[in-house]
Amino acid sequence: MSVLVNSGNPLNATLPPSLVSITNLALDLGLSPKKKLFDVDTYIPITYIPANKLFVDKEFQRLVIMSFIKGAKEFDGTMARPLYVFLRPNGEYAVADGQHTTILGILYTTQGGELPLPCQVIEHPKNFTEQQCIDVEAVKFGKLNKNRRNVTKIDQLRANIALKDETALEILEALVDMGVHVENLGDSDGPEVFGYDKLMEAHKTYGLSCVRKSIHLYRKIQKDNRFKWNGIDKPLNGGLIGGLSAVFYLMDGQFIGGAAKKDALNEYLEDYLG
């Protein structure tokens, strides 16, 4: 491994006002962690692999963020960090982290699948089963995502699903039961919902039945040409789902009177909500 020497400013040199030595910054933190000798040979070298030689485990397919892919507009090589790749015993390269970079390279360049991508490759032991490979890759995926800054709740949910976290899997099951998906997590055949927190709050507070009723009504209104406030192709609003769920909860709980009042409220919701 080559290391840069005799270049840059020494610690006692005069730096321009816009720069500060990271070494000084670290020492000035006043921390005294236990140190140990680091083996620089454990760094993973960069290997360039054509995009069409890269695969992703089926469990990770649902983790693709469509909005990110659509919004990219181009593949920017200066922003492409190395992919984290595992070489499985069968000779296939499985991407544990970096499938979005790979997809962008394939879709937004004329090279497509022939585009070489920078990869850090770890080789699984030759005696590993497929499931052992999947487990190791999922753990690495989870750790990589947990260590990142500005991780959204959905990003964290993805990481926890990969780690087989029980709570995360229950949330995923709830999304499937509701018949919706949030950034491709949940029922991929159902509508997308924008507003994860409000959606899950409605599920917890009012229950699955009320949420499903509200989603059914919401989609019915979307298809009604009389109403223009939300087109059929737009994601459902989690806050509105919560509001409608509250109404159905009141109706189901006998809080608003007899059948006549319920029928009147149902009619109002279906005919005048728009």
Output the CA angle 103-107-112, nearest 5 degrees. Answer: 95
Q: What's the mean pLDDT in 43-71?
A: 85
Contact 218, 236 (CB under 8 A): yes
Instruction: Calculate the dihedral angle through the C-alpha atoms of 221, 227, 230, 234, rounding to the nearest 10 degrees.
Output: 70
> 212-235, pLDDT tens digit by residue?
999 998 998 888 776 665 566 789
**Percent of the chain beyond pLDDT 90?**
53
Residue 49, helix vs strand vs coil: strand
Distance between CA atoms of 96 and 106, rounded to whole angstroms?
17
pLDDT of residue 113: 96
- Ordered by start, the domain boundaries in the chain are 44-133, 193-272
Distance between CA atoms of 144 and 155, rounded to whole angstroms?
11
Contact 245, 206 (CB under 8 A): yes
The pLDDT confidence band at residue 39, using thresholds 50, 70 and 90, is: very high
CATH class of segment(s) 44-133? alpha beta
pLDDT of residue 68: 82
pLDDT of residue 188: 86
Q: What's the mean pLDDT in 48-70?
A: 83
The pLDDT confidence band at residue 143, using thresholds 50, 70 and 90, is: confident
pTM above 0.75, yes or no: no
Structure tokens at 28: 């000035």
Among 90-99, 117-126, 132-141, 255-264, where is mean pLDDT lowest?
A: 255-264
pLDDT surpasses 90 at 35: yes
More confident: 103 or 183? 103
pLDDT of residue 233: 72
Q: What's the mean pLDDT in 107-119?
A: 98
